[in-house]
C-alpha cells in the first residue's frame, strides 16, 4: 500500500463548452492540476474567488466529471468508464459551502439517510452511528430539528456529521465557513480542529488563516485554474516564493487582522 | 314532479362515483406525472416522447377523447374500451398525468439541483436520490398546483355523462331534468352546490398542509 488516499493526475475541466448561449464564455476552471493526499493529511487550498478551487474539489468527488486527467481513490481510478461512482462517492465525504442539507429531513435523518440507503446498515445501527456523528460535531440539541430551524453554524456542523458518519476515506470541504456569519464560523472551525486532532484525512478550501496555520500540514495556493505554489503554513506566512501568493497573503492577512 | 329533497337524494347517489373516478384519476396522474417529470428533467434523450404525450392530452378536450375511445374504439376492442368506468378513469388519469408532469417539472426546478448533488455526494444513485430526496420535496412544493388539479378533475368528471352508463352527479342531474315537468334549474343548481362542496374542502386542506410543510422545511 502506498498510503495515498486520493490522487489527481492532470485534471482538466472547462465550463460553458457546450453552451449555446454566445455570451457565456468558455472558462478553464481546472488546468491540468495534480495532487496527492496521503492518509491523515490535512491540506488546505486557498486562492482568489472564481479561480476554480470549488470545481477542482467537485471533480475530486466526481460530482463534476473532469474533461481530462485521472482521479484515483486509493488504487481505484474513478475516471475510467464503467466505474461505480456511487460506491466511490460513498467513500468520500463532501461538505458544501452552502451546506445543502436535505430540507425535508431532520438532522438525524440527514445523517442517517446514507447509512441506511447506501451502506445498508440495519435501522438501529444506523441510528446509533448517526447520533454518534452528531455528538462528535456537538449538535445533539438539533437531532430532531429541520435544517430551516437551525442556525447556519449548526446546519454546517450537521453537514460535517453527514459527511463524517460513513467513515469516509477522505473529507473534502468546500469553503465550509464562508457562507456563515462571522460569529458562527468559530463553532464550525472548532469542529474542524477536533477532526484534525483525530487524524481525519481532509482537503479543505478555506481562507480561515489562523485555522490554516494551526492545522494544515500543507497549504496550496490556487489561482486561475492552477496550483501556483505549495508549501508549509510557515512558508506562506513568512515568505512565499511567488509574487502572486505574496500579494494574496498580504491582502488576506491585512483583512483578518484589521 | 320531484321534490327538492328527492332530487338531492338522487344527486347524492352520484357522489361516490364522481369522487371515486376523480380520486382514482388523480392517483393515476401522480403515478404517471411524477416519473415523466423526472425523465424530462434528467433524461433529455427521451424527452420528446414525453412532450408529445403531454401536448396530445393537454391539447384535446377530454370530452372528445372520451367519445373517441368509448364509441370509436369500444366496438373494436370491447375489452377494455367498452367499459365506461375504465374509459373515464383512463382518459382523466392520462390527462391529469400530462398536467401533473408539468406541475412537478416546475417543482423540481424549484427544489433545486443542489439537493440532487448533495444526495449523490453521500453515495446515493441518481434514482435513489430522486426517490429519497427530490420526491418528498417536490410534492410539498407542488401543493397549490395539486389542489387545483384535484378541483379540475372533480369538474371534468361531469363530462362522463356523454358516454353514459355511469350514474355520477351530472348524469343524475340530466336524468332528473328529463322527468316531467322538465325542471331545468333546480337539479343543476343542486349539482353545482355539490361540486363546490366536493372540491373546495379537499383542495383547501391540501393547500394548507402544503403551506405549513413548506414553512417547516424552508422551501
- Give per-residue pLDDT as tens, A170-201: 999 999 999 898 888 999 999 999 999 999 99
Mutate to test the interface with B, among A64, A89, A102, A163 (most CBs of B within 10 A): A102
pLDDT tens for chain B, 219 residues long, are 788 999 999 999 999 999 999 999 999 999 999 999 999 898 777 878 888 999 999 999 999 999 999 999 988 998 888 999 999 999 999 999 999 999 999 999 999 999 999 999 999 999 999 999 999 999 999 998 999 999 999 999 999 999 988 999 999 999 999 998 888 899 999 999 999 999 999 899 999 999 999 999 988
Contact residues, chain A, for B129 at CB < 8 Å: none
pTM: predicted TM-score of the whole model, two decimal places: 0.89
Rounded Cα distance, B116 and B130, in Å: 7
Contact criterion met (CB below 8 Å) for A240 and A221: yes
Sorted by sequence, the CB contacts under 8 Å of residue B158 that are 6+ apart come out as B168, B169, B170, B195
Tell me which H or E stretch contains B186: helix B186-217
Q: What is the pLDDT of residue B42?
A: 87
Report the residue from A117, A146, A166 with minimal CB separation from B132.
A117
| Helix (H/G/I), strand (E/B), else coil: B163 | coil
E strands, chain A, where?
Answer: 4-15, 27-38, 42-46, 68-73, 76-77, 92-95, 170-174, 202-205, 218-223, 226-231
What residues of A are in the B interface, CB distance below 8 Å? 61, 63, 86-87, 89-92, 94, 96, 98, 100-104, 113-114, 117-119, 146-149, 162-163, 166
Question: Under an 8 A CB cutoff, do B218 and A147 touch?
Answer: yes
Closest chain B C-alpha to A112 CA, distance in angstroms: 11
Question: Under an 8 A CB cutoff, do B217 and A101 touch?
Answer: no
Q: Does the ipTM exceed 0.95? A: no
Exposure of A49 by Cβ count < 10 A (0-12 exposed, 13-18 middle, 19+ buried)?
A: exposed
Question: Under an 8 A CB cutoff, do A103 and B123 touch?
Answer: no
Closest chain A C-alpha to B127 CA, distance in angstroms: 11
B80: cell is 377494455
Neighbouring C-beta atoms of residue A142, cutoff 10 Å: 22
Query: CATH number of the domain at A100-167, please?
Result: 1.20.1580.10
Question: Under an 8 A CB cutoff, do A86 and B115 touch?
Answer: no
Buried b / exposed e over A195-210, threshold 16 CB at 10 Å, is bbeeebbbbbbbbbbe
By 3-state DSSP, what share of chain A in percent is helix, strand and coil, each rounded to 5? Answer: 40, 25, 35
Closest residue, chain B, to A64 (C-alpha): B117
DSSP character for B69? I
Closest residue, chain B, to A62 (C-alpha): B121
- Any idea which fold B18-165+195-217 has? MetI-like fold (1.10.3720)
For A96-128, how does the pLDDT look when each residue is reduced to its tens digit (9 = 90+)? 999 999 999 999 999 999 999 999 999 999 999
Indicate the domain borders of chain B.
18-165+195-217
Proportion of chain A above pLDDT 70, given as a percent = 95
Angle at B126 between CA A61 and CA A177, to 5 degrees: 40
Indicate the domain borders of chain A.
100-167
Amino acid at each position: 500500500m502506498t498510503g495515498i488516499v486520493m490522487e489527481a493526475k492532470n485534471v482538466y475541466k472547462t465550463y460553458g463548452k457546450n453552451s449555446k448561449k454566445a455570451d457565456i464564455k468558455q472558462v478553464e476552471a481546472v488546468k491540468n492540476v495534480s495532487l496527492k493526499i496521503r492518509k491523515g493529511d490535512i491540506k488546505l487550498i486557498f486562492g482568489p474567488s472564481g479561480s476554480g478551487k470549488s470545481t477542482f474539489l467537485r471533480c475530486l468527488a466526481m460530482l463534476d466529471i473532469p474533461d481530462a486527467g485521472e482521479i484515483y481513490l486509493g488504487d481505484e481510478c474513478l475516471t475510467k468508464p464503467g466505474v461505480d461512482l456511487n460506491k466511490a462517492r460513498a467513500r468520500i465525504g463532501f461538505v458544501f459551502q452552502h451546506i445543502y442539507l436535505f430540507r425535508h429531513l431532520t438532522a438525524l435523518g440527514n445523517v442517517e439517510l446514507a447509512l441506511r440507503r447506501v451502506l445498508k446498515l440495519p435501522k438501529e445501527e444506523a441510528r446509533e452511528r448517526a447520533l454518534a456523528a452528531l455528538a462528535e460535531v456537538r449538535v445533539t440539541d438539533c437531532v430532531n430539528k429541520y435544517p430551516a430551524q437551525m442556525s447556519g453554524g449548526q446546519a454546517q456542523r450537521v453537514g460535517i456529521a453527514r459527511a463524517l458518519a460513513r467513515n469516509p476515506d477522505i473529507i473534502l470541504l468546500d469553503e465550509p465557513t464562508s457562507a456563515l456569519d462571522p460569529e458562527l464560523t468559530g463553532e464550525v472551525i472548532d469542529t474542524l480542529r477536533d477532526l484534525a486532532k483525530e487524524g481525519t484525512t481532509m482537503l479543505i478550501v478555506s481562507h480561515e488563516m489562523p485555522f490554516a496555520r494551526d492545522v494544515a500540514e500543507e497549504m496550496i495556493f490556487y489561482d486561475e485554474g492552477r496550483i501556483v505554489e505549495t508549501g508549509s503554513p510557515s512558508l506562506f506566512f513568512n515568505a512565499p516564493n511567488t509574487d502572486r501568493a505574496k500579494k494574496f497573503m498580504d491582502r488576506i492577512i491585512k483583512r483578518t487582522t484589521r | 314532479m320531484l321534490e327538492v329533497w328527492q332530487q338531492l337524494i338522487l344527486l347524492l347517489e352520484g357522489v361516490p362515483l364522481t369522487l371515486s373516478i376523480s380520486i382514482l384519476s388523480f392517483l393515476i396522474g401522480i403515478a404517471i406525472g411524477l416519473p415523466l417529470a423526472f425523465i424530462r428533467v434528467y433524461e433529455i434523450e427521451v424527452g420528446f416522447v414525453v412532450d408529445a404525450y403531454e401536448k396530445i392530452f393537454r391539447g384535446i378536450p377530454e370530452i372528445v377523447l372520451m367519445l373517441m375511445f368509448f364509441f370509436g374504439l369500444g366496438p373494436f376492442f370491447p375489452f377494455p374500451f367498452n367499459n365506461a368506468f375504465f374509459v373515464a378513469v383512463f382518459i382523466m388519469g392520462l390527462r391529469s398525468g400530462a398536467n401533473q408532469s408539468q406541475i412537478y417539472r416546475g417543482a423540481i426546478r424549484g427544489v433545486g439541483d443542489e439537493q440532487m448533488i448533495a444526495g449523490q455526494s453521500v453515495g446515493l444513485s441518481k434514482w435513489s436520490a430522486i426517490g429519497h430526496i427530490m420526491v418528498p420535496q417536490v410534492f410539498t412544493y407542488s401543493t397549490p398546483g395539486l389542489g387545483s388539479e384535484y378541483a379540475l378533475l372533480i369538474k371534468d368528471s361531469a363530462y362522463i355523462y356523454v358516454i353514459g352508463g355511469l350514474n355520477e352527479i351530472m348524469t343524475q342531474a340530466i336524468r332528473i331534468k328529463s322527468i316531467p315537468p322538465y325542471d331545468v334549474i333546480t337539479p343543476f343548481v343542486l349539482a353545482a352546490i355539490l361540486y363546490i362542496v366536493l372540491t373546495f374542502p379537499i383542495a383547501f386542506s391540501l393547500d394548507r398542509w402544503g403551506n405549513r410543510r413548506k414553512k417547516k422545511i424552508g422551501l
